[in-house]
Structures are given as C-alpha cells and as structure tokens.
C-alpha cells in the first residue's frame, strides 16, 4: 500500500525536489502551492502524511493545520519551514504538528523522520479483536494479517461492529452512523453487506439478533 503524502510548499523548485525525493521512496505525492489548494485537496482526498510549509499564500500552514485538527483530522504532520524562532516552533506544535524541521534540511534525515512518525502513528492506530485488526491510519481492516477487500459501506459496518464487539448493534444505530436521513437503506440492503463480510471472512461470528440488530462475537 502506497503512503500518500500532501506537500504544501510555494517554492516550486523545492516542492519539485520533495516530490522527486518521496516518489523515489515509493510514496504517492500531491503538491499544493498555497493553503487554499491544500485545504480543497484534503477535503476531497485522504492522505497518510502532511508536509507543510508555514509562510504560503492564502492560508498559512499553521492556520491550515489548526482548521484540520478542529475537524478531527489527525493525519501525521511535519512542518518544513525557514522559521527558526522558538515562538513559531511553539505555535506549530500547538496547532497540532508532530514534528518540525527548519530549512535547509537533510533529505535523508527527513525520510528517517517520516518513517519513524508513520511507524508510531500506525502502531497507535491499530485495534485488534483476535485475528481481526482495524488499521485506522490506512483505513483498512485485516484478518490474520491479510487486508480485506471491502467496499466503503462494508468497511464502515465492520468498523462499527468492532467498536461494539460483543454488544448488540441495533439497526437504528447502523442507519444513523452509515447513512443520511434522505438515503436510509432497507433491512435487506444491510443484510447484503453483512453477508458479503461473512463471505470474505467465514470464521467471523456475526450474530443476527432477531428484530433488533447484529452482534460481532469476539
């Protein structure tokens, strides 16, 4: 699975150099040259890491990260900036940054920091129930170490079952969590998703609580 990185950098030459560096390290990279482009891109796509400059047009890096954190976006973030003042560094960490590197920086050190940050974030965001593991960082679910090929609703449904493992998940809760009021599914549609999950993982024990909902038995 490719690591997806968004770079916010208005220096085109440096931005292109960073893109080349990360792509050579087998990462998928998107380069934004101002804060508004970065924000619009993030709202439309998902990323595993943000590399943010601070002094960029329209929305600066600190303000952008504050907005993302307020929207519960906890994507690991490293600031890459020419600022060396302690106050700016303090503001960067307060806004939700995980790391801070001043320009010019060593490319090898940047890659090492990225690797360490992603490893730490991945470890902290993986929750397991026996052989079933939810990798929140990559938004994937694995069974016995193998990633399941789940459609969006199947993934969301299984995450919900894992959250309430050994407890009954009512049909009302499923509908409220996974669908909007204008697009509520039928009971049959929910059963189709559950049957699909059972086909992918035959050993998974999802009980039908007749007339009420379902239960993932650990």
> CB-based contacts of 1: which residues, under 8 Å, 6+ apart?
138, 140, 147
pLDDT per residue of the chain (218 residues) written in tens, 0 to 9: 578 999 999 999 999 999 999 999 999 999 999 999 999 999 888 888 999 999 899 999 999 999 998 888 888 999 998 876 667 677 777 888 999 898 889 999 999 999 888 877 765 567 788 889 888 767 789 898 888 999 999 999 999 999 999 999 999 999 988 888 778 888 888 999 999 999 999 999 999 999 899 999 98
Residues in the chain: 218
- Would you state the pLDDT for residue 1? 59
What is the C-alpha separation between 20 and 163, in angstroms, rounded? 40
Domains by residue range for the chain, with CATH: 3-124 (3.40.50.2300), 126-216 (1.10.10.10)
Question: Bridge partners of 147?
Answer: 142
- DSSP string computed for the chain: -PEEEEEE-S-HHHHHHHHHHHHHTTEEEEEESSHHHHHHHHHHS--SEEEE-SS-SSS-HHHHHHHHHHTT----EEEEES---HHHHHHHHHTT-SEEEESS--HHHHHHHHHHHHHHHHHHTEEEETTEEEETTTTEEEETTEE----HHHHHHHHHHHHTTTSEEEHHHHHHHHS-GGGPPPHHHHHHHHHHHHHH-TT--EEEETTTEEEE--
Residues 6+ away with beta carbon under 8 Å from 34: 8, 10, 56, 57, 58, 59
């Amino acid at each position: 699975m490719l690591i997806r990185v968004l770079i916010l950098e208005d220096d085109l030459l440096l931005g292109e150099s960073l893109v080349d560096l990360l792509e050579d390290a087998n990462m998928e990279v998107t380069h934004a040259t101002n804060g508004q482009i970065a924000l619009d891109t993030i709202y439309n796509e998902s990323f595993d890491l943000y590399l943010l400059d601070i002094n960029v047009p329209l929305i600066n890096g600190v303000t952008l990260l504050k907005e993302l954190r307020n929207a519960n976006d906890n994507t690991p973030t490293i600031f890459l900036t020419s600022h060396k003042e302690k106050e700016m560094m303090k503001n960067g960490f307060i806004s939700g940054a995980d790391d801070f590197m001043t320009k010019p920086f060593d490319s090898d050190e940047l890659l090492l920091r990225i690797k360490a940050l992603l490893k730490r974030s991945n470890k902290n965001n993986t929750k397991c129930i026996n052989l079933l593991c939810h990798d929140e960082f990559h938004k994937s679910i694995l069974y016995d170490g193998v990633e399941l090929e789940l459609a969006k609703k199947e993934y969301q449904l299984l995450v919900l079952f894992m959250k309430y493992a050994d407890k009954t998940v009512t049909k009302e809760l499923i509908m409220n969590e996974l669908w909007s009021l204008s697009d509520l599914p039928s009971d049959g549609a929910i059963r189709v998703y559950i049957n699909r999950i059972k086909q992918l993982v035959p050993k998974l024990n999802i009980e039908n609580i007749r007339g009420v909902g379902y239960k993932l038995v650990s």
